[in-house]
């Protein structure tokens, strides 16, 4: 039996709030359908689509199907009918007493745990939480909250207070889908299951660390959300900081959820806020027109729903430091942006050079050793070493040792949402964020946003199809780094 064989989960009720929304149709419903098709769900389980429109289960699935057809996601379409045996629908307009009653009726007598999944804008979270009964028992009630939780630390704290008034922390699953990616779990295994890398991941050996999430897409049809969010709130606040915390944390005492979260929290608390004045440690940008994959694309300000004078950042890169004994002084360079030449995400750990070079580098430039964790599109590890070139001369050239996880296991990579949903149903909290992590992440991002604002720093334009403003290259060079553009 492989790891991918279904290990069915016990009966449950899963209420998907915002079932008519983009995220639900694009990610959550296909993940549920694929799990249903793969045999994870027992017959008594119930999935309830809660949405504004009054729809029958068949109509709701037909809507999802046409959405996926338009998105060209044929693979997801194949699984959708597998949901029908479990599916119920509920018309809900949150914020009304009737909707609370309707929600309560819909789950009366249904199998427990009842999972309320908020695939909603966070401005609706409190309305939803107000409808949830006070039940402090994770075997009976669980709540799933999608990121971003609020738009700043203050809003997030208000939501958290409402949650804490009804539920215990052990019932709350705060999603960052990056933690559901197999590559992130491989990163944990690489660090904590192997002896050879961990002793090297220190300030003595590491010159710098780069974390990149590059996207080729633009804002698409999400301007309503993105105009208020921007790359700092949308990507840095959770995905980028969680990747950073995972690579920099100390080994936890166990893989139990709170051990992992304790260690990540220490990293988040020790992050240096990048300075915006003097020699800047942060660059914000906004895409202009250009070409991506050979196709002309408009500038951000010309996208549907975007203000003609918008100052929303679609790109951010910054230099930070994890101010701990292990990492003090090592630059951590973080970068994310839309409309880059291609979609890729990776973590590059650049090691220091040998103390006294005895060989000659080919090309005259030392590149040192690198450990590259490719998160997407491929899930692989690459160790860049220096090897002697054949012949008499004592010359070294970089070569790569590659470990491609797909070629190793030959099992299709499961979508992050599938992994996260099975964990929610099994009651495993390890891949979800704790309240204090989210709060610390917001404090970091709020500080940056306030500093940018108080120094009137607006995003600089960059050409679509490039890796962002040139100021970011200079910032990396000051840290002794050249941004990786591999994205293999
Ligand atoms: C989401 C952001 O959380 O992550 C999007 O809201 C972004 O703006 C997406 O495109 C990236 O996720 P992935 O899995 O495609 O890298």
Q: Is 263 in the pocket of ligand 1 (CB under 6 A)?
A: no
Query: What integer pLDDT is reported at residue 2 of this predicted model?
Result: 53
Query: What integer pLDDT is reported at residue 127 of this predicted model?
Result: 95
By most ligand atoms within 8 Å of CB, the mutation choice from 28, 215, 337 for ligand 1 is: 215
Query: What integer pLDDT is reported at residue 405 of this predicted model?
Result: 83
Alpha-carbon torsion, ordered 283, 287, 290, 293, to 10 deg: 90
- Binned at pLDDT 50, 70 and 90, residue 4 comes out as low
Distance between Cα 302 and ligand 1 center (Å): 21
Burial 2-21 (b: 16+ CB within 10 A, else e): eeeeeeebebbbbbbbbbbb
In the numeric block, the tokens 């139990």 are attached to 256
For residue 230, give both structure tokens. 């921007």
How far apart CA 220 and CA 420 sit, in angstroms, is: 25
Distance between Cα 28 and ligand 1 center (Å): 14
Distance between Cα 217 and ligand 1 center (Å): 10
Distance between Cα 485 and ligand 1 center (Å): 19
Which residue puts its alpha carbon closest to atom 7 of ligand 1?
235
Q: Is 234 in the pocket of ligand 1 (CB under 6 A)?
A: yes
Query: What integer pLDDT is reported at residue 488 of this predicted model?
Result: 47
The verdict on whether 205 is a catalytic residue reads no
Lowest-confidence range among 61-70, 75-84, 300-309, 383-392? 383-392
What is the atom index within ligand 1 of the atom nearest the CA of 416?
14
By the 8 A CB rule, do 370 and 348 touch? Answer: yes
Query: What integer pLDDT is reported at residue 444 of this predicted model?
Result: 98
Mapping DSSP to helix (H, G, I), strand (E, B) and coil, where does residue 384 land? strand
Distance between Cα 440 and ligand 1 center (Å): 21
Query: What integer pLDDT is reported at residue 398 of this predicted model?
Result: 87
pTM for the model: 0.96
Among the listed residues 286, 318, 316, 302, the one whose alpha carbon sits nearest the alpha carbon of residue 464 = 286
Query: What integer pLDDT is reported at residue 7 of this predicted model?
Result: 84
Query: What integer pLDDT is reported at residue 6 of this predicted model?
Result: 76
Query: What integer pLDDT is reported at residue 359 of this predicted model?
Result: 86
By the 8 A CB rule, do 212 and 345 touch? Answer: yes
pLDDT over 50 (residue 1): no
Q: Is 215 in the pocket of ligand 1 (CB under 6 A)?
A: yes
Quickly count: other Cβ atoms within 10 Å of residue 293's Cβ: 10
Distance between Cα 269 and ligand 1 center (Å): 24
pLDDT over 70 (residue 24): yes
273-317: per-residue pLDDT in tens?
A: 999 988 999 999 999 999 999 999 999 999 999 999 999 999 999
By the 8 A CB rule, do 4 and 411 touch? Answer: yes
Residue % of the chain over a pLDDT of 90: 86
Query: What integer pLDDT is reported at residue 485 of this predicted model?
Result: 83
β 282-292/315-320 pair status? antiparallel
pLDDT over 90 (residue 358): no
70 by Cβ neighbours in 10 Å (0-12 / 13-18 / 19+) ranks as exposed
What is the atom index within ligand 1 of the atom nearest the CA of 222?
8
Which of 34, 239, 374, 455 is catalytic? The answer is 239
Mean pLDDT of 402-419: 87
Q: What are the φ/ψ torsions at residue 444 (nearest 5 degrees)?
A: -65, -50
How far apart CA 84 and CA 244 sit, in angstroms, is: 40
- Binned at pLDDT 50, 70 and 90, residue 413 comes out as confident
Quickly count: other Cβ atoms within 10 Å of residue 83's Cβ: 23
Which residue puts its alpha carbon closest to atom 15 of ligand 1?
215
Q: Is 146 in the pocket of ligand 1 (CB under 6 A)?
A: no
Query: What integer pLDDT is reported at residue 283 of this predicted model?
Result: 98
Q: Is 346 in the pocket of ligand 1 (CB under 6 A)?
A: no
152-184: per-residue pLDDT in tens?
A: 999 999 999 999 999 999 999 999 999 999 889
pLDDT over 70 (residue 3): no
Residue % of the chain over a pLDDT of 70: 98
Among the listed residues 159, 222, 234, the one whose alpha carbon sits nearest the alpha carbon of residue 441 = 234
311-334: per-residue pLDDT in tens?
A: 999 999 999 999 999 999 999 999
What is the atom index within ligand 1 of the atom nearest the CA of 238?
3
- Binned at pLDDT 50, 70 and 90, residue 487 comes out as low
What is the atom index within ligand 1 of the atom nearest the CA of 176?
3
What is the atom index within ligand 1 of the atom nearest the CA of 226?
8
Q: Which of the two residues, 284 and 368, has the higher pLDDT score? A: 284
By the 8 A CB rule, do 380 and 388 touch? Answer: no
Residues facing residue 51 across a β-bridge: 91
By the 8 A CB rule, do 316 and 285 touch? Answer: yes
- Taking the CA atoms of 290, 471, 178 and 220 in sequence, report the sign of the dihedral they define: negative
Mapping DSSP to helix (H, G, I), strand (E, B) and coil, where does residue 28 land? helix
Among the listed residues 335, 310, 354, the one whose alpha carbon sits nearest the alpha carbon of residue 471 = 335
Which residue puts its alpha carbon closest to atom 6 of ligand 1?
234
Distance between Cα 397 and ligand 1 center (Å): 36
How far apart CA 433 and CA 175 sit, in angstroms, is: 7
By the 8 A CB rule, do 122 and 159 touch? Answer: yes
Q: Is 415 in the pocket of ligand 1 (CB under 6 A)?
A: no
203 by Cβ neighbours in 10 Å (0-12 / 13-18 / 19+) ranks as middle
236-246: per-residue pLDDT in tens?
A: 999 999 999 99
Largest interatomic CA distance in the chain: 84
pLDDT over 50 (residue 189): yes
For residue 467, give both structure tokens. 């890796």
Q: Is 176 in the pocket of ligand 1 (CB under 6 A)?
A: no
Distance between Cα 415 and ligand 1 center (Å): 13
Which residue puts its alpha carbon closest to atom 14 of ligand 1?
178
Burial 308-325 (b: 16+ CB within 10 A, else e): eebbbbbbbbbbbbbebe
Query: What integer pLDDT is reported at residue 486 of this predicted model?
Result: 66
């Amino acid at each position: 039996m492989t790891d991918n064989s279904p290990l069915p989960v016990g009966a449950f009720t899963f209420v998907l709030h915002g079932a008519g929304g983009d995220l639900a149709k694009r990610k959550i419903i296909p993940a549920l359908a694929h799990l249903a098709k793969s045999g994870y769900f027992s017959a008594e389980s119930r999935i309830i689509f809660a949405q504004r429109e009054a729809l029958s289960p068949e109509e709701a699935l037909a809507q999802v199907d046409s959405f996926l057809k338009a998105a060209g996601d044929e693979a997801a379409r194949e699984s959708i009918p597998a949901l029908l045996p479990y599916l119920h629908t509920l018309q809900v307009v949150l914020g009304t007493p009737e909707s609370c009653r309707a929600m309560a009726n819909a789950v009366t007598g249904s199998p427990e745990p009842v999972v309320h999944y908020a695939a909603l804008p966070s401005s609706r979270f409190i309305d939803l939480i107000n409808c949830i009964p006070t039940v402090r028992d994770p075997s009976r009630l669980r709540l799933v909250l999608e990121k971003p939780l609020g738009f700043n630390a203050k809003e997030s704290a208000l939501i958290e207070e409402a949650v804490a008034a009804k539920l215990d922390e052990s019932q709350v699953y705060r999603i960052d889908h990056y933690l559901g990616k197999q590559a992130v779990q491989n990163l944990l295994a690489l660090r904590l299951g192997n002896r050879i890398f961990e002793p090297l991941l220190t300030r003595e050996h590491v010159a710098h660390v780069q974390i990149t999430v590059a996207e080729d897409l633009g804002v698409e049809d999400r301007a309503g959300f993105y105009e208020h969010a921007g790359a700092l709130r949308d990507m840095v606040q959770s995905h980028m900081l969680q990747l950073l915390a995972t690579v920099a944390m100390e080994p936890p005492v166990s893989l139990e959820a709170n051990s992992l979260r304790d260690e990540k929290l220490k990293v988040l608390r020790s992050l240096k806020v990048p300075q915006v004045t003097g020699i800047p440690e942060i660059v914000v940008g906004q895409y202009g027109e250009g070409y991506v994959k050979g196709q002309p694309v408009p500038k951000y300000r010309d996208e549907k729903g975007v203000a003609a004078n918008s100052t929303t950042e679609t790109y951010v890169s910054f230099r930070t430091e994890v101010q701990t004994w292990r990492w003090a002084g090592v630059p951590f360079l973080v970068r994310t942006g839309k409309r880059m030449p291609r979609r890729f995400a990776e973590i590059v750990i650049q090691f220091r050079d040998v103390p006294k070079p005895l060989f000659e580098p080919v090309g005259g430039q030392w590149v040192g050793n690198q450990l590259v964790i490719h998160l997407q599109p491929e899930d692989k590890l690459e160790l860049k070493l220096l090897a002697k070139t054949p012949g008499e001369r004592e010359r070294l050239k970089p070569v790569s040792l590659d470990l491609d996880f797909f070629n190793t296991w030959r099992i299709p990579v499961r979508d992050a949402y599938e992994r996260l949903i099975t964990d929610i149903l099994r009651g495993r909290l390890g891949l979800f964020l704790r309240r204090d992590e989210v709060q610390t992440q917001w404090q970091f991002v709020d500080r940056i946003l306030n500093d940018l604002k108080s120094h009137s720093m607006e995003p600089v334009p960059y050409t679509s199809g490039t890796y962002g403003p040139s100021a970011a290259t200079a910032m990396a060079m000051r840290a002794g780094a050249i941004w990786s553009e591999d994205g293999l």
